[in-house]
Amino acid sequence: MRLELPSGEFVLPSGIIASTPDIILRVARSSERLGVITTKSIGISEREGYKEPIVASVGGSLVNSVGLSNPGADEFVRESAGVRKELNDQGKVLMVSVFGGTPAEFASVASKVASCADWIELNLSCPHASGYGAAIGTCPATVREVVAAVREAVDLPVFAKVTPSPGLVGTVARAAVEAGADGIVAVNTVGPLEFASDWGWPLLKNSLGGLSGPAIKEIALRCVREVRESVHVPIIGMGGISSRKDVEEFRSAGARLFGVGTALWGMSTSAVGSFIDALHSGAAAVPDPPPMGYSRFTVREAWGSGMRVIRLDGSIRAAPGQFVQVLLPGKGEKPFSLADSDPVLLLVRAVGPVSRALASLEEGDEVFLRGPYGNSWAPQGPSCLVGGGSGVAPVHFAARRFRGMVDCIFVGGRTSSDLPLLDSLSSAAETHVSTEDGSTGIRGLVTDL
């Protein structure tokens, strides 16, 4: 089998941004310099992964513990129909990352996803999922068995993603290549490691996670050198790349393609493309990272039944359309759209464990926020706002922020208790209301207004 590398020298690593087929396609279109898009790691069956928070900032780098969440091989194949063809039409490669607990399981997953893949990546190095990844990838004999099983199962280029283990990684890479691997991805995140917040609780719900970004660059470079000294197949180098200088250092170490992950965290699709292009030309400067640190707030007011209103004792700099991550230590973290930013106002419906805990907060309780995230919105002229249920939160934020530019508001809920901010909305603009039970406004949906 002859392995042809794409003209684009940059690789989007597994788990970074490209988490769904739609996002893969949008990111692929963003830059001609992006040659390989790697999917999130796929297993034999659906896996939920860990509870939030699953990612946190550590001194300009990131620590994550996703837990190999994925839809399972069969569902992945169904969702990914047509993705490879569109990428191939752009001269790009779709590399499907797979994981398993045994050589046979790796081979089974690889054979299932082969129809929608150009290359297969073997995740032999995830540091935080018990029984997977690094638990397998630090044993050369087991790596040899895994690669051999996959090599027999598929007729596609196979890349082994190795652990950041200086002194061992060359031996592991050699075992993989001798068993049939066509290339090496070096390296995965460093870990498992545990980091605590300023208030003492673990930054991740799972406690242990893998470190990526500038903090691991020197380890990654050493590993790439050791792999190059041991094998003579293409190496995809990654681990802290954020400038042209970094790219050239990895090239000198022996890499042919270059994975860029942590530097892209929090970027929009268009920003990813611009950064990759600038990285190629040498003009790239790492943008300011999204706000990952937590701020502590106290609940000043909490009221409502069906939909709870939580008003906090401070403000954040945010714009309508943006959201925040809300954390209750020991319970978890979930995203919520802002209903206002000064002071912070949230609308919460008790659905899952985190939202139920948040909805039960009373005056004086503590909560932690990070953000804001997402794209903001501003009217370009007279506008009407439409929202239902929890979607009333950003409508309220926009109506209050852009008072005078909003001509009318349309909101709906299941019952009147779902619309606790109705009076505030009505004071901002003419408001039309629907409820499914007819308790307020017309009986029906907001689309019936």
User: What tens digit of pLDDT does each residue of 153-185 get?
Assistant: 999 999 999 999 999 999 999 999 999 999 999
pLDDT band of residue 295 (cuts 50, 70, 90) is very high
Q: How many structural domains is the chain composed of?
A: 2
Contact 83, 42 (CB under 8 A): no
Q: Is the pLDDT of residue 1 over 70?
A: no
The sign one gets for the Cα dihedral 343, 344, 349, 355 is: negative
| Catalytic residue ranges | 126
Structural domain contains residue 263:
yes
The sign one gets for the Cα dihedral 272, 273, 276, 279 is: negative
Rounded to an integer, the average pLDDT of 293-309 is: 94
Residue 181 sits in the same domain as residue 263: yes
Write out the H or E segment, with its range, that includes residue 202: none
Rounded to an integer, the average pLDDT of 349-365 is: 95
Q: Where are the alpha helices (DSSP H) in 282-360?
A: 353-359
Write out the H or E segment, with its range, that includes residue 409: strand 406-413
In the chain, % helix, strand, coil (3-state, to 5) comes to: 30, 25, 40
Residue 346 sits in the same domain as residue 245: no
What is the average pLDDT score of the chain? 94
pLDDT band of residue 18 (cuts 50, 70, 90) is confident
End-to-end CA distance of the chain: 62
Q: Is the pLDDT of residue 128 over 70?
A: no
pLDDT at 152: 98
pTM of the model: 0.88
Residue 133 sits in the same domain as residue 16: yes
What is the span of the domain harbouring residue 366? Answer: 295-448
Of 229, 253, 281, the one marking the end of a domain is 281
HSE-CB at 44 with a 13 A cutoff on CA atoms is 10
Structural domain contains residue 289:
no
pLDDT band of residue 127 (cuts 50, 70, 90) is confident
Residue 253 sits in the same domain as residue 320: no
Residue 319 sits in the same domain as residue 189: no
Contact 212, 241 (CB under 8 A): no
Q: Which residues contact 209 (CB under 8 A, 6 or more apart)?
A: 54, 55, 56, 63, 64, 65, 127, 128, 189, 191, 192, 193, 194, 195, 203
Structural domain contains residue 407:
yes
